[in-house]
Structure 1
Amino acid sequence: MSRLAALLALVCALPLAAEPLTYPRHSSGADPEAYVVELLRQALARSGGDYQLQPSPRPMPQSRAEQSLEQNDGAVQLMWSMTTRAREDVLLPIRIPLYKGLIGWRVPLVRREDKDWLAQVRSLDDLRPMRFGQRADWPDTRILRDNGLQVITSQSYESLFRMLGAGRFDLFPREVVVAWSEQAQAAREGLALEVDEHIVIHYPTAFYFFTSRARADLAGTIERGLEAMIADGSFEALFQQHHGATLERARLDTRRVIELENLDLPAQTPFRRPELWYRPNAPR
């Protein structure tokens, strides 16, 4: 065998390097969405995708990640976020709600001295005099404002907790799956915040993986893996592993539900697939 033939045989025998798959780093601290990363890892494994998952070198806000994917500039290859009509117009959504709709079930963080402040809230009108905190580029900001609520915004996720503690606004509605971990982190930073026990704010929405429209191959790989996990029950098992105890603690069935409209919800949202959604038996 010639040297060239031997070299070619050696190269062909080497395993192909996994394609780097970069996602936006959430913050300078620990990623609070370890569940989503693990879900992505398992979905890729189920579909046979050979990728090396890695966060972006620096924290990246949603607006910058969306711009990167729209331009397909390679800074990130996917992101996860709440869906909007505008986002689905420029990116490729994988329409399987990663949190089974729980992103739209919000329990407010409040200052400790105000922990019973919301006990008498019965309707959306009761919330209109209050000031809500949100990050400027989150879709929730528009939803709250579309429902006639006052919103104070920040460009920084971390600063919102300090702003609440300082009285810059009155409540910070958080996803039920992260509210208690965020309250605990705030306490470690010396902030006296509590998760309200009286109400839950709800609006229909979904939280998806998104890729560039130029990466239909990647979107298809992820979708096949997620569908396989739904079919064999491993999606639900992972969901319960990460969020089951928190859902019991939230006691959504004892809270007053304040319903909001989501005027920015795409028509293609898969509500006709009940297996994709968590349905708490909460009082209305």
Structure 2
Amino acid sequence: MPRLLALLALLCCGPLLAGERLTYPLHSSEDDPEAYVVELLRLALDKSGAGHQLVPSRLAMAQSRAQQSLEQNDNSVQLMWTMTTKEREQILLPIRIPIYKGLIGWRVALVREEDRHWLKSVRSLADLKPMRIGQRSDWPDTAILRSNGLQVVTSQSYPSLFRMLDAGRFDLFPREVVVAWDEQARANQQGLQLAVDEHVVLHYPTAFYFFTSRARADLAADIERGLERMIADGSFEQLFDSHHGATIRKAQLDKRQVIELHNPDLPELTPFAREELWYQPAAPQ
């Protein structure tokens, strides 16, 4: 009888201990450009103690489709990560810990190899206005850039943007500091002749968050608990530096011309008061 009771207890408690199978939207059917975020999320879920298991969606999913899934709580995906906007924070549930420590708003430009010094003379936003900028149609950056008077050429496909730049369909493709060189390397492996500009950095205040459905406050609390534990024990900073430290140093933000952009879609509850959550570039030398 004791053995039978023990077996029944294991059978009853097993699913609770195993946690939930969580599906996140696969960014691209090609190489995953956001391996850091997946690792951060896995560690946060481990630290939360909830025992959730993380898997990608079977097919690549556009941000707009993932957002719709979460808004409807249809269980195609249980979470996503993306740049915050006022609308997204109204219809989804944000975990307000910036995944990239705010560096998502520091953008260096991919350009064609023959144009690698084209931006050397840029000193102001006005100098950028004659140039055509590439973006995906459902990225919040598109609206931010346009609201600052810049010309934006869009595509619904992330991989096609690199080919469009190479073909001269637009002039520059601003990318997050933390991914620009990896993206350039992948593009060059595919035969595209692209370079990372060394002269200019665009900056606008924003944050990249994990989001869940508003019906899943329990899951949002699990993710937030895990992230806060990582911040407290230093593992968040350690993971961030291991993935991005060398790239940030390579970017030399303090030696670039900073072009400040206004972000009209920045939510009021962005936690700028928590200084430990944000990366602060060194002051210009």
Same fold (TM over 0.5): yes
Between the aligned partners of 2:283 and 2:151, the Cα distance in structure 1 is 26
- Displacement after TM superposition at 1:12 (Å): 2.2
Match of 2:8 among 11, 21, 27: 11
Aligned to 1:25: 26
Q: Name the SS of the counterpart of 2:119 in structure 1.
A: coil
Aligned to 2:270: 269
- Aligned partner letter, 1:127: L
- Aligned partner letter, 1:181: D
Between the aligned partners of 2:227 and 2:200, the Cα distance in structure 1 is 32
Give deviations 1:124-164, integer Å, cap 9, x for gaps.
00000000000000000000000000000000000000000
Alignment gaps of 5+ in structure 1: none
- Aligned partner letter, 2:249: E
- Aligned partner letter, 1:85: K
Give deviations 1:169-215, integer Å, cap 9, x for gaps.
00000000000000000101111000000000000000000000000
Q: Is the CA contact 1:25–1:59 (under 8 Å) kept in the aligned structure 2?
A: yes
- Aligned partner letter, 1:10: L
1:167-186 equivalences in 2 (<5 Å): 167-186=168-187
Q: Name the SS of the counterpart of 2:211 in structure 1.
A: strand
Aligned to 1:56: 57
- Aligned partner letter, 1:144: L
Q: Name the SS of the counterpart of 1:119 in structure 2.
A: helix
Q: Which moved more, 1:196-205 or 1:9-18?
A: 9-18
- Displacement after TM superposition at 1:45 (Å): 1.1
- Displacement after TM superposition at 1:10 (Å): 2.3
Between the aligned partners of 2:127 and 2:8, the Cα distance in structure 1 is 69
- Aligned partner letter, 2:176: E
Which TM-score applies when normalising by structure 2?
0.96
Give deviations 1:227-246, integer Å, cap 9, x for gaps.
11111111101100000000
- Displacement after TM superposition at 1:282 (Å): 4.7
Aligned to 2:143: 142
Q: Relative to 1, partners in 2 of residues 1:273 and 1:89: Cα closer, same or farther, differing over 3 Å?
A: same
Between the aligned partners of 2:40 and 2:190, the Cα distance in structure 1 is 30
Identity of aligned residues (%): 72
1:176-255 equivalences in 2 (<5 Å): 176-255=177-256
Aligned to 2:166: 165
- Displacement after TM superposition at 1:281 (Å): 2.0
Q: Is the CA contact 1:47–1:224 (under 8 Å) kept in the aligned structure 2?
A: yes
Between the aligned partners of 1:109 and 1:282, the Cα distance in structure 2 is 24
Between the aligned partners of 2:284 and 2:170, the Cα distance in structure 1 is 27
Q: Would you identify which runs of 4 or more consecutive aligned residues in structure 1 move more than 6 Å?
A: none
Between the aligned partners of 2:142 and 2:234, the Cα distance in structure 1 is 34
Aligned to 2:81: 80
- Displacement after TM superposition at 1:9 (Å): 4.9
Q: Which moved more, 1:274-283 or 1:112-121?
A: 274-283
Between the aligned partners of 1:63 and 1:21, the Cα distance in structure 2 is 19
The number of equivalent residue pairs is 281
Matched, 1:114 2:111: no
- Aligned partner letter, 2:93: L
Between the aligned partners of 1:228 and 1:52, the Cα distance in structure 2 is 18
Q: Name the SS of the counterpart of 2:121 in structure 1.
A: coil
- Aligned partner letter, 1:20: R
- Displacement after TM superposition at 1:29 (Å): 1.6
Give deviations 1:2-37, integer Å, cap 9, x for gaps.
9xx94x652322322431100000111222111111
Between the aligned partners of 1:258 and 1:283, the Cα distance in structure 2 is 14
- Aligned partner letter, 2:211: F
